A and B are shown apart, each in its own frame.
Chain A
């Protein structure tokens, strides 16, 4: 086995949400490469979303809940052992023993073993169908047990118990909750809140029994079990779910002699380090400051701290806010900070509405300046505001009660996103602050989706989604994003408006357009956009002197710049059909110029590693052999992929290859807001993958089905069926209209999918414009397309015939040498950048 000398061995025991988050943190910080990582995962499935476990009974599959897959871990280079349990730790030898006896050494060890459900030692608790609610396997057992019964009991009226009750109700059982304490959710709610919750849940058909201690479980008469309570009452049931709290899973740590808390839990310091400096513990198995944290957010914080520790960082875990906001059986429940008013001198305000069934309480400091805690039942709409007051120590209004009183004209203003300080935590699961969100927007995020991608906010429990949206919308609005659709600082117009101006006023150059409708000198945004519009409208060569300075470097040199400044060359291979002679030429050219060759996804051949001055020589040979430019560098038609169709294939019903070649020849060179890809399949088996293209065509017995606006890439989207059983001429006519309407109305760099989705009316509207000619544009669009088709010239052919244009293709204008800093090495018998 080979391992570079500077990697150390890291073992992670446990792959729950927290264990997985730890790995994710390590990978994202780029530190994972420094370690040879092994992950023990006792369950057969890798990490999944335990917070939303009850969704398993209301439609979600195990795959929906999955947070990690073996493939993902493999991709990350991490050795994961699903279904494998670590059975002992030898701290002296620094080794972990697996269930099969295998011994693995570690330099650092992470314990993320989580917790197990506490089952009260009631006689009879081990009977059949006495289960717990923790893992997907547990859920499968619960489902199986429910099939034979009609009635179920949950022991425990806390947060998890009520979740479990939802699961039983979703399975169609008559559901009961038995709680030892006098009220539901005794930790998070006060007496009044608990009472309202109980009444609401009872209305939903879940029967609640409080102050009940179970003494014995034995045989029932109508049902499988009879539960006998201390007060003499009994309750029969077919299924019992224990959900009476969790206990840290600290057995491994205990056996290996790590310090354990009196009531369990692996003792850790603020760096999440155990009593052994090489071993860390995170999540529900860890005991910090005498506390176990049974929520996912603090677990994530610990994961982050431990990951930072391994990378030499100095983050610390300093406790966590245990506020929670939930929908339990459809009832809003919120609990913030000191919900029960235990702080000395604390004062409370309560609002209770029996009609609307809403209860609110706020706990404030003795001076009534700060919010210490809150209880909400029946309506969580104030949760975000109250949480921000509590977490950020924001001064309360003079009448704190105004925060929880019903809205009237003179109430204190709600805390809008603007009132939050930058340090305000918006997403507590992943610890994302308002400042980080603003940072993401400053860095270019333009939507809630972008911000989520960039910051991971709202990707934990999702509870902050509404708040996140209001912050993002507010920040975008403040930056003028929603109102400002200017292309850039040089043009106070949208792309669509500029297109219209160019068409209507017959503008032929950037200079002209800038002088009449813009200001300044232009930039890398407006120049290529206007260059593209001019090409779409008038189809003059982009290599003309008036246009050349407008093009992005790829269009300027009609090749694709790679990371070392060399270019790749992609000749057009219409429909992916190529003669042996042409294949040989590509091979000869590649050999002569030492180019790396690779087959593209669009059924053509990419030649990499050409220097600027080599491009004309390469193209002279390609043009001589009958090749044309492939526009791989342009926002334009790329390829029309095809299968062989009815000419060869026994299943083909139309000649898809001929159609693909015809279409590629028609639309090659069309400049558009973004790249465009086509595919044509000869039958419904769809071997050309047409439904992943901007324009997809699938043969039918009667003609062609046309699909539009699909794409692969970062956000894959299937194309929508646009029209069926078209003949050849109608097919081409519809495509003409769709494409030209796209060129006319889309934004810069907007793929067809986003263009259609943003159109009011979407697919139906597009059909109306194209098929029913609802805007009376059809003729015009077809004429415009016909102009583009009729004026096509191969850009490379015309360039190599023009010595003046070739002057630009010099690596140095004053020297014939190559760029000495471009160095290639050999890999798999081909060159690649060093």
Chain B
């Protein structure tokens, strides 16, 4: 798999703390600020990767709303549906499953000792 989460993680110093695990809402999303960028964080307890980080900016509506979309899966692929116009985005890669030319930026993200960290 070529998702960003499996990137080599030996650049330990570049992981930055975003928020506490308790800020996350299970099976739903929240937004966090990271260097002027808005990141949508999704928490799916029980999945192989439990946390996902995508840009909060919806390229279709141009509003910062992705964190407020519904999560689930389509053909087994974990996705979030934009709350405004319902495009589906792959939670791992950020690729739009309905339109090839659309994608959300994605970050490598992990849970460590009750803290959410992103890479970059």
Question: A residues touching B (Cβ–Cβ < 8 Å)?
Answer: 489-490, 520-524, 526-528, 545, 548-549, 552-553, 556-557, 561, 563-565, 612, 807-808, 810-815, 817, 819, 821-822
* Chain B 95-113 interface residues, beta-carbon cutoff 8 Å to A: none
Contacts of A557 in B (CB 8 A): 68
Contact B78–A813 (Cβ < 8 Å)? no
Partner of A561, one of B25, B38, B68, B70: B68
5 closest residue pairs by CB, A with B: A549-B27, A565-B63, A553-B83, A523-B72, A524-B81
Known: A553-B68, A561-B65. A812 touches B73 (CB 8 A): no
* Proximity string of chain B (33-53) to chain A, C-beta cutoff 8 Å, 1 when within and 0 when not: 100001001001000000000
Tell yes or no: B14 within 8 A of A by CB.
no
Contact B73–A811 (Cβ < 8 Å)? no
* Smallest Cβ-Cβ distance to B65: which chain A residue: A565
Tell me, in angstroms, the Cα distance from A526 to B72 when the chains sit together.
10
Tell me, in angstroms, the Cα distance from A90 to B28 when the chains sit together.
67
Tell me, in angstroms, the Cα distance from A679 to B42 when the chains sit together.
42
Contact A520–B38 (Cβ < 8 Å)? no
Contact A817–B73 (Cβ < 8 Å)? no
Contacts of A520 in B (CB 8 A): 72-73, 76
Known: A527-B72, A807-B23. A564 touches B83 (CB 8 A): no
Contact A814–B73 (Cβ < 8 Å)? no
A-B contact list, 12 entries, CB within 8 Å: A520-B76, A521-B78, A522-B72, A523-B70, A556-B28, A561-B65, A564-B61, A812-B33, A813-B18, A813-B30, A813-B32, A822-B64
* Smallest Cβ-Cβ distance to A521: which chain B residue: B73
Partner of B25, one of A522, A523, A548, A814: A548
Known: A548-B25, A548-B28. A814 touches B68 (CB 8 A): no
CB distance from B74 to the nearest CB of A (A): 6
Tell me, in angstroms, the Cα distance from A522 to B73 when the chains sit together.
6
Tell me, in angstroms, the Cα distance from A553 to B40 when the chains sit together.
14
Contact B61–A563 (Cβ < 8 Å)? yes
CB distance from A808 to the nearest CB of B (A): 6
Known: A489-B74, A552-B70, A553-B69. A564 touches B30 (CB 8 A): no
CB distance from A731 to the nearest CB of B (A): 38
Contacts of B25 in A (CB 8 A): 548-549, 807-808
Contact B19–A814 (Cβ < 8 Å)? yes
CB distance from A659 to the nearest CB of B (A): 37
Contact B75–A523 (Cβ < 8 Å)? no
**Interface residue range, chain B:** 20 to 34
Contacts of A561 in B (CB 8 A): 65, 68, 83-84
Contact B70–A814 (Cβ < 8 Å)? no
Of the candidates B31, B41, B76, B78, the one having the most CB atoms from chain A within 10 angstroms of its own CB is B31
Known: A813-B31, A814-B19, A814-B33. A549 touches B26 (CB 8 A): yes
Besides A553-B70, A813-B31, A813-B32, 5 other A-B contacts (C-beta < 8 A)? A520-B76, A523-B70, A524-B69, A524-B86, A549-B25
Partner of B23, one of A527, A811, A813: A813
Known: A553-B83, A814-B19. A527 touches B68 (CB 8 A): no
* Smallest Cβ-Cβ distance to A545: which chain B residue: B26
Tell me, in angstroms, the Cα distance from A548 to B30 when the chains sit together.
13
Contacts of A815 in B (CB 8 A): 32-33
Contact B72–A563 (Cβ < 8 Å)? no
Of the candidates A549, A556, A808, A817, the one having the most CB atoms from chain B within 10 angstroms of its own CB is A549
Contacts of B72 in A (CB 8 A): 490, 520-524, 526-527
* Smallest Cβ-Cβ distance to B41: which chain A residue: A813
Tell me, in angstroms, the Cα distance from A316 to B35 when the chains sit together.
53
Tell me, in angstroms, the Cα distance from A557 to B76 when the chains sit together.
28
Tell me, in angstroms, the Cα distance from A522 to B78 when the chains sit together.
10
Contacts of B28 in A (CB 8 A): 548-549, 556, 808
Tell me, in angstroms, the Cα distance from A545 to B45 when the chains sit together.
13
* Smallest Cβ-Cβ distance to A528: which chain B residue: B70
Tell me, in angstroms, the Cα distance from A141 to B35 when the chains sit together.
78
CB distance from B105 to the nearest CB of A (A): 15
CB distance from B51 to the nearest CB of A (A): 13
Tell me, in angstroms, the Cα distance from A808 to B27 when the chains sit together.
13
Chain B interface, >50% SS class: strand
Tell yes or no: B71 within 8 A of A by CB.
yes
Contact B70–A527 (Cβ < 8 Å)? yes
Tell me, in angstroms, the Cα distance from A350 to B48 when the chains sit together.
72
Contacts of A565 in B (CB 8 A): 61, 63-65, 68, 84
CB distance from B66 to the nearest CB of A (A): 10
Tell me, in angstroms, the Cα distance from A812 to B18 when the chains sit together.
10
Contacts of A553 in B (CB 8 A): 65, 68-70, 83
CB distance from A803 to the nearest CB of B (A): 12
Of the candidates A489, A552, A556, A814, the one having the most CB atoms from chain B within 10 angstroms of its own CB is A814
* Smallest Cβ-Cβ distance to B36: which chain A residue: A820
CB distance from B42 to the nearest CB of A (A): 10
Known: A561-B84, A812-B38. A523 touches B73 (CB 8 A): yes
Tell me, in angstroms, the Cα distance from A808 to B79 when the chains sit together.
20
Contacts of A523 in B (CB 8 A): 70, 72-74, 79, 81
Partner of A817, one of B33, B44, B78: B33
Tell me, in angstroms, the Cα distance from A319 to B10 when the chains sit together.
68
* Smallest Cβ-Cβ distance to A523: which chain B residue: B72
Partner of B30, one of A521, A527, A528, A808: A808
CB distance from A557 to the nearest CB of B (A): 7
Contacts of A563 in B (CB 8 A): 61, 63, 84
CB distance from B90 to the nearest CB of A (A): 13
Contacts of B75 in A (CB 8 A): 489
Contacts of B30 in A (CB 8 A): 808, 810, 813
Contacts of B33 in A (CB 8 A): 812, 814-815, 817
Contacts of A813 in B (CB 8 A): 18-19, 23-24, 30-32, 41
Tell me, in angstroms, the Cα distance from A549 to B30 when the chains sit together.
12
Partner of B31, one of A490, A522, A812: A812
CB distance from A104 to the nearest CB of B (A): 39
Tell me, in angstroms, the Cα distance from A815 to B26 when the chains sit together.
20
* Smallest Cβ-Cβ distance to B68: which chain A residue: A553
CB distance from A806 to the nearest CB of B (A): 12
* Smallest Cβ-Cβ distance to A511: which chain B residue: B27
Contacts of A821 in B (CB 8 A): 63-64
Tell me, in angstroms, the Cα distance from A813 to B19 when the chains sit together.
7
Tell me, in angstroms, the Cα distance from A521 to B75 when the chains sit together.
10
Of the candidates B18, B23, B41, the one having the most CB atoms from chain A within 10 angstroms of its own CB is B23
Tell me, in angstroms, the Cα distance from A364 to B39 when the chains sit together.
67
* Smallest Cβ-Cβ distance to B85: which chain A residue: A563
Partner of B71, one of A489, A526, A549: A549
Contacts of B83 in A (CB 8 A): 552-553, 561
Contacts of B32 in A (CB 8 A): 812-815
Tell me, in angstroms, the Cα distance from A819 to B62 when the chains sit together.
13
Contact B68–A819 (Cβ < 8 Å)? no
Contact B31–A811 (Cβ < 8 Å)? yes
Tell me, in angstroms, the Cα distance from A766 to B105 when the chains sit together.
52
Tell me, in angstroms, the Cα distance from A549 to B65 when the chains sit together.
15
Tell me, in angstroms, the Cα distance from A600 to B85 when the chains sit together.
23
Tell me, in angstroms, the Cα distance from A508 to B2 when the chains sit together.
38
Contacts of A524 in B (CB 8 A): 69-70, 72, 81, 86
* Smallest Cβ-Cβ distance to B58: which chain A residue: A565
CB distance from A827 to the nearest CB of B (A): 19
Tell me, in angstroms, the Cα distance from A548 to B38 when the chains sit together.
23
Contacts of A808 in B (CB 8 A): 25, 28, 30
Tell me, in angstroms, the Cα distance from A619 to B1 when the chains sit together.
46
* Smallest Cβ-Cβ distance to B69: which chain A residue: A553
Tell me, in angstroms, the Cα distance from A523 to B69 when the chains sit together.
10
* Smallest Cβ-Cβ distance to A553: which chain B residue: B83
Tell me, in angstroms, the Cα distance from A808 to B30 when the chains sit together.
7
Tell me, in angstroms, the Cα distance from A819 to B61 when the chains sit together.
15
Tell me, in angstroms, the Cα distance from A524 to B97 when the chains sit together.
14
Of the candidates A548, A553, A612, A817, the one having the most CB atoms from chain B within 10 angstroms of its own CB is A553
